[in-house]
Structure 1
Amino acid sequence: MLGAAAVVASQLLVMPLVNAAGHDPEDGEKHSHEQDQAQVQQQFNDYVAKLKQEALAAGYQQQTLDLAFADVEYYQRAVELDKNQPEFKLTLDTYLPRAVPEWKADKALEKYREHQQLLEKIGAEYGVQPRFIVALWGIETNFGSFTGGFKVVSALTTLAFDGRREAFFKKQLWEALTIIEEGHIKPEQMKGSWAGAMGQTQFMPSSFMSYAVDYDGDGKKDIWNSYGDVFASAANYLKSVGWRDDVTWGRQVQLPENFDTTLADLDVKKSLDEWQALGITRMDGSALPNRNDIKASVVIPDDKEGRVYLAYANYDALMRWNRSHYFVAAVGYLSDRIRFPR
């Protein structure tokens, strides 16, 4: 049988704590949180009003601003994701099977064949092998099936308002307003990632303005819905950053035990013959192609015990798209699976 003190203690475990006035402290916290939210919302509304005035002064039409900001909202989730981007403790050997599972390799080949005529036409015009267009499409948005559900204007406005990278996100917001004003997409259809990357190519608005293509000739650069515009925009980007259609992206290689790892740098370029002379071989131990005209860099994404690549000019071009060795390796690997299906 419990004593009186024990009974009181057990009741405290199940009864809500109250302060001297008989109020639940959690009510106070909730009220304070709601006040904070209301304050942030008011500050955000004031910021939007200021942005509109700046945009008008910059020459944007009132109608554009009315449409673009009609249902603008503060995305707390975008701020959280921007501040806490995950750091994955993976190696390339564990990452690649996740980024390019068998079903994705199969789907890439299926999509390649489905759009082969269009892809080959665009590939020939821009000097980009079609398999790389499909690989980028697959890695970025799972062939257009996942392009993000954030309203781009709201996401960019939120991140500009947050202030940590205001200049960058405000620039992207102005570009987004230009895209709307030029009639490429309606604001309510302008969806993308939490950071404002848009469409099946996941272009930021500034990349859209620089590289997006109206390939189907309908007057709109539609990277959301038009396969021609999607593929040509990706190809145009690659062509603009130095893509070559006479070489691949790179190859996995073996290093000699005494290899000087200070040479593993994208800024260090040597011919395949020169790398061969330093002891680098194909994965099966055989000699590299006898090519003096192809320059390459050694890339070690993890360490010498993991995957090592000879990176060609197209590796550098893919790094311009996304400065991640893991991203480039995934795109390259998927492109190889299209080229050499199992």
Structure 2
Amino acid sequence: MRIQGVATILAMVFTSGAVCAAPVDGSVRPNSRSGPDSEVSRSAVSLVSMVAPHNSLRPIPRPAAASTAAVVVPIATQTGFDNWIKEFRARAIQKGISADVFDSALSGTRYDPDIIKRDRNQSEFTKTIWDYLDSAASDARVRNGKDALHKHADLLDRIEARYNVDKDVVVAIWGLESAYGTFRGSNPVIGSLATLAYDSRRGAFFEGQLIEALRILQSGDVSAPNFTGSWAGAMGHTQFIPTSYQSLAVDFTGDGKRDIWSDDPADALASTANYLAKNGWVKGAPWGVEVSLPRGFDYTLANRDIRKLPSDWATLGVTSLDGKPVPDHGVTSVLLPAGAKGAAFLIFKNFDVIETYNTADAYVIGVGHLSDRITGGGAIQSNWPREDRALSFDERMEMQRRLTAKGFDTQKIDGKIGPLTINAVRMFQTSIGDIPDGYASLNILKKLK
């Protein structure tokens, strides 16, 4: 089950799909998520997109778009926007939105070209995974997470007991989505979604989000003045997108409203726990464990589709950093988010659950690692290839074109580094005698040239 948030949205946008944020893009996951397609959803990418709210650390893979040095936003006018609203009104009413609610919510709404520019520019806001994690699990974010865990201990204990979801992961999502509630977004949700729905690139997706946003207003869960969120329409402490909110938000306080916007984070945090629970969270099990790979490791085994019990990986020399087998909490796969030169992880089912919130590997690792840190765990021990830089969107497109031209078909030329491109990189690496870790680095692009 996927929902979305800003991230979601954007993902869903990105087409991801999570509960929050589309289910959290605010998400376009829940997170919103219309969810990213399979090429993105299982990526071991080192590039991640940063989306609203401004201080959110939700990385969302950018949807396919024209590769241009300068972003060109289609000409749109307020008159055209007003005409679209008139046409949309009939569709909304047909879907159960009252005329009064529609007219009140959309009256005076202005087309916001800045939102479209931000949407178009997302692919340029990229970081390497190590830069992303430096921020996601910074000393300040860890410290504030510990404070939040202590301040809201009673609430979090009750949420954990009801939904059987570890409270530290709920707090970690809160920390990455809105810096523990301090940056929830101040854009009018209706205006943001109307602008994005009017934009034809992903109009159908956002029109669906707008319908659900109007339904939220109609239900009385939130008043129009308080109905705010990110520029992409993700809402509340943990950035649910409207569809994710409708599916998984809960009234934990019992006041008759699912209020994820309030200064009181109870409903928002409980909704996040409910989201994770509905997606299969296994309480007490890790999201992943940093591991040591043996000399001569077969890097073709670092594939999300190859799953083994940790004890079976141990027979192949894959152990925790202390040399001991990782406990058997369930089947795992080996993840190399930065290739053979970076940290390696055995990832469990809970990795997949967090991924429904946001499909970017960097985000999932960020949430998992932050949750570990705020409960006393240490920093990631392995080195990262910090001499590398992130590939630009144009460079990722070029890599896919060159791989395909050499017979290593990526099946898509979309600038998304997911399983298809990773497998093509592996085949190319094998053909030239490199370690087949599938890491789509600048060095690989240079060798392709």
**Alignment correspondent of 1:193:** 230
Say whether residues 1:121 and 2:137 are aligned partners.
no
The gaps in structure 1 that reach 5 residues or longer are 1-35
**How far apart, in 2, do the equivalents of 1:290 and 1:159 lie?**
46
**How far apart, in 1, do the equivalents of 2:211 and 2:325 lie?**
49
**How far apart, in 2, do the equivalents of 1:250 and 1:276 lie?**
15
Superposed displacement of residue 194, structure 1: 1.6
**Are 2:288 and 2:345, in contact at CA under 8 Å, matched by a contact in 1?**
yes
**Alignment correspondent of 1:83:** 120
Say whether residues 1:324 and 2:367 are aligned partners.
no
Aligned counterpart in structure 1 of residue 371 of structure 2, from 328, 335, 342: 335
> One-letter code of the match for 2:285?
V
**Are 1:67 and 1:187, in contact at CA under 8 Å, matched by a contact in 2?**
no
**How far apart, in 2, do the equivalents of 1:189 and 1:138 lie?**
21
**How far apart, in 1, do the equivalents of 2:235 and 2:336 lie?**
31
**How far apart, in 2, do the equivalents of 1:209 and 1:59 lie?**
15
Give the alignment of 1:1-342 within 5 angstroms: 40-88=77-125, 90-225=127-262, 226-284=264-322, 286-291=323-328, 294-340=330-376
Describe the shift of the 1:290–1:199 C-alpha distance in structure 2 as closer, same or farther (beyond 3 A). closer
Determine helix, strand or coil for the equivalent of 1:287.
Answer: coil
Determine helix, strand or coil for the equivalent of 1:295.
Answer: coil
Determine helix, strand or coil for the equivalent of 1:267.
Answer: coil
Q: Given the two structures, how large is their TM-score scaled by the length of structure 2? A: 0.65
More helix as a share of residues: 1
**How far apart, in 1, do the equivalents of 2:76 and 2:252 lie?**
46
The structure with higher relative contact order (CA 8 Å, sep 6+) is: 2
> One-letter code of the match for 1:334?
L
Q: How many equivalent pairs are there?
A: 305
Describe the shift of the 1:39–1:319 C-alpha distance in structure 2 as closer, same or farther (beyond 3 A). closer
> Deviation string for 1:246-270 (max 9, x for gaps)?
3011111122232223322333221
Describe the shift of the 1:266–1:38 C-alpha distance in structure 2 as closer, same or farther (beyond 3 A). closer
**Are 2:136 and 2:370, in contact at CA under 8 Å, matched by a contact in 1?**
no
**Are 1:109 and 1:338, in contact at CA under 8 Å, matched by a contact in 2?**
yes
Determine helix, strand or coil for the equivalent of 1:197.
Answer: coil
Larger radius of gyration: 1
The gaps in structure 2 that reach 5 residues or longer are 1-72, 379-449
Determine helix, strand or coil for the equivalent of 1:231.
Answer: helix
Superposed displacement of residue 83, structure 1: 1.3
**How far apart, in 1, do the equivalents of 2:155 and 2:114 lie?**
38
Describe the shift of the 1:58–1:278 C-alpha distance in structure 2 as closer, same or farther (beyond 3 A). same
Superposed displacement of residue 231, structure 1: 1.2
Q: Given the two structures, how large is their TM-score scaled by the length of structure 1? A: 0.85
> One-letter code of the match for 1:117?
D
Describe the shift of the 1:295–1:37 C-alpha distance in structure 2 as closer, same or farther (beyond 3 A). closer
**In angstroms, what is the RMSD of aligned CA positions?**
1.9
> One-letter code of the match for 2:200?
G
**Are 1:213 and 1:232, in contact at CA under 8 Å, matched by a contact in 2?**
yes
**How far apart, in 2, do the equivalents of 1:156 and 1:256 lie?**
50
**How far apart, in 2, do the equivalents of 1:275 and 1:88 lie?**
36
**Alignment correspondent of 1:17:** none
> Deviation string for 1:204-253 (max 9, x for gaps)?
10000011001111111111113220111000000011100030111111
**Are 1:92 and 1:306, in contact at CA under 8 Å, matched by a contact in 2?**
no
Superposed displacement of residue 91, structure 1: 3.2
**How far apart, in 1, do the equivalents of 2:251 and 2:76 lie?**
43
